[in-house]
Copies of this chain bind each other. A is one copy, B any other.
Amino acid sequence: MLSQNAKNSGIEQFKSALRRHAMKATPQRLAVHEAMLRLGHASADTVTEEIRKSASTNVTVASVYNILTNLAGLGIYKRRMSANNKMYFDVNTFKHIHLYDSENHTFKDIIDEELMLLIESHLGHKKFRGFKIDDIDIQIIGHPSKSKKTL
């Protein structure tokens, strides 16, 4: 329920963001955003796959790249890099930490406001001369622990 509303409002918000930037609400852009809302984090090819699987809209990877890059430029997504050397995009703009699974190359969000505040307040009074801070990226890197031995 909540999630459904959240998604709808997500799309509405998205449309008005597009309008605000004088960008057309093309089916491709909407499909990309819908996929991103479902996926959370994804690479261009994953998004393309997801769209082909679930939507009637057809898209090409090239367009998905362009769309994701443009939207990241507007701050609607965040570009992320993973250790498997692919570009990932992140739909969540709120502050959070990432848990990166280096085996499966997936990201999981960790919301830990306390920690973010801790770090920000620690860094807050530090100056990096000649450097304007845009973002702080915290990634916890690990792998699934095979606690089952035989699996």
Binding site for B on A (CB under 8 A): 79, 81-83, 85-87, 99, 101-102, 110, 112, 114-115, 118-119, 122-123, 126, 128, 130-145, 147
Enumerate 9 A-B pairs (CB-CB under 8 Å) in ascending A order: A81-B82, A85-B85, A118-B119, A118-B122, A123-B140, A133-B142, A135-B141, A136-B139, A136-B140
Residue pair B143, A134 in contact (C-beta under 8 Å): yes
Query: How far, in angstroms, from A114 to B110 measured CA to CA in the complex?
Result: 22
Chain B positions within 8 Å of A141 at CB level: 133-137
In the complex the two chains form, is B122's CB within 8 Å of A145's CB? no
Would you call B115 and A132 a contact (CB within 8 A)? no
Chain B contacts of A130 at CB under 8 A?
144-145, 147
The copy count of this chain in the complex is 2
Is the Cβ of B138 less than 8 Å from the Cβ of A142?
Answer: no
Chain B contacts for A112, CB-based, 8 A: 122, 126
A81 and B79: CB pair below 8 A?
A: no
Beyond A123-B140, A128-B142, A130-B147, 8 additional contacts (C-beta under 8 Å) are: A85-B85, A85-B87, A112-B122, A118-B118, A118-B119, A131-B142, A133-B141, A139-B139
- Inter-chain contacts of A147 with B (CB < 8 A): 130
